[in-house]
Amino acid sequence: MTPSHSAARLRVLPRPITDDGDASRFCSSCAFSDACCAVGYGKPELLELHCLVEHVGPFRAGEHVFRTGDPFRAIYAVRAGSVKTRLFDRDGNEQVLGFYLPGEVVGLNAIYPEHFPCDAVALEDTQFCRFSFPAMSALAARQPAVQQHLFRMISKELGAVSLLAGDHSADERMAAFLIDLSNRYAARGLPATRFHLSMSRGDIANYLRLAAETVSRVLGRFRSQGLIALEGRELVLLRESELRDMGASLLPD
């Protein structure tokens, strides 16, 4: 199948959103669902955790979830939609720090020094589960599964592999970026080879430290090579293994 034929078949994908699950299980996008299910915990065992959850949103595209310098009181688990984090330098230039997808937690980098070190901005209609961090910390001290998963999330946030490290080509950075998104969607049971790019070309370029024109050229080249199909922001990975090989030096082992 040619890239043009594949692109023609693309349809706008619905954004992932879940409810709270049933009476025993948390919703599939819950940031704690994997850890809780792995040890046989559900809502009855973790009633305290469930009671900590406050659903907030939707935040519309461009709205702030929190701003640089705001006091740190809660962490935000993306329930539906997506978010970018950013800073502005002294000259007022935006620096995109990262993107967060359903099931991922925003705000862990604010634990110390107890205020948010960046802005979090919704990229589309986005809903969250908000957890009071003081209450979460107290619960973690009593529930080993919650404590271990919280530490794991903090460790992952601190040790996230940067797609900017080293002297890599634009093709390598873009391939790694797309495969990283694929891996993260797959981890939440969402489609891994067909998804919506909620971030703009400009945001992707800013994050990868590339020119916006370079991002457009690379995506166009990937499309012409049959690596991806792309229509607007709806993307399909057609030859995932080749993209994975291309970005391998920037991806975790």
CATH code at position 75: 2.60.120.10
Q: Give the helix/strand (H/E) hosting 184.
A: helix 170-187
Residue 111 shares a structural domain with residue 208: no
Residue 105 shares a structural domain with residue 181: no
Burial class of residue 233 in the structure, from the number of CB atoms within 10 Å of its CB (0-12 exposed, 13-18 middle, 19+ buried): middle
Choose one of 140, 158, 176: the last residue of a domain: 158
Residue 185 belongs to domain with CATH number = 1.10.10.10
Residue 88 shares a structural domain with residue 147: yes
Higher pLDDT, 236 or 23: 236
Strands (E), the chain: 53-59, 64-66, 74-80, 83-88, 94-100, 105-106, 119-122, 126-132, 194-196, 228-231, 234-237
Summarised one tens digit per residue, pLDDT across range 189-236 is 889 999 999 999 999 999 999 999 999 999 999 999 999 999 999 999
Higher pLDDT, 222 or 253: 222
Residue 145 shares a structural domain with residue 47: yes
Residue 42 shares a structural domain with residue 137: yes
Residue 27 within any structural domain of the chain: no
Predicted confidence (pLDDT) at residue 16 exceeds the cutoff of 50: no
* Interatomic CA distance for residues 183 and 174, integer angstroms: 14
Q: Are 207 and 176 in contact (CB under 8 A)?
A: no
Residue 191 shares a structural domain with residue 124: no
Range of the domain at 199: 3-14+163-250
Q: Is 159 helix (H, G, I), strand (E, B) or coil?
A: coil
Number of structural domains in the chain: 2
Residue 218 within any structural domain of the chain: yes
Residue 150 shares a structural domain with residue 39: yes
Residue 185 within any structural domain of the chain: yes
Token readout for 181 is 């998104």
User: What pLDDT does residue 89 have?
Assistant: 92
Residue 46 shares a structural domain with residue 124: yes
CA-wise closest residue to 25 among 55, 48, 46: 46
Stretch 163-183: mean pLDDT: 88
Residue 137 shares a structural domain with residue 56: yes
Residue 154 shares a structural domain with residue 196: no
Choose one of 122, 143, 158: the last residue of a domain: 158
Type of residue found at 146: V
Task: Taking the CA atoms of 34, 35, 36 and 40 in sequence, report the sign of the dihedral they define.
Answer: positive
Residue 181 within any structural domain of the chain: yes
Residue 24 within any structural domain of the chain: no
Higher pLDDT, 78 or 253: 78
The answer to pTM > 0.85 is: no
Residue 240 within any structural domain of the chain: yes
Token readout for 7 is 């692109």
User: What pLDDT does residue 123 have?
Assistant: 97
Residue 10 shares a structural domain with residue 63: no
Predicted confidence (pLDDT) at residue 147 exceeds the cutoff of 50: yes
Residue 38 shares a structural domain with residue 154: yes
Q: Average pLDDT of the chain?
A: 82
Higher pLDDT, 186 or 13: 186
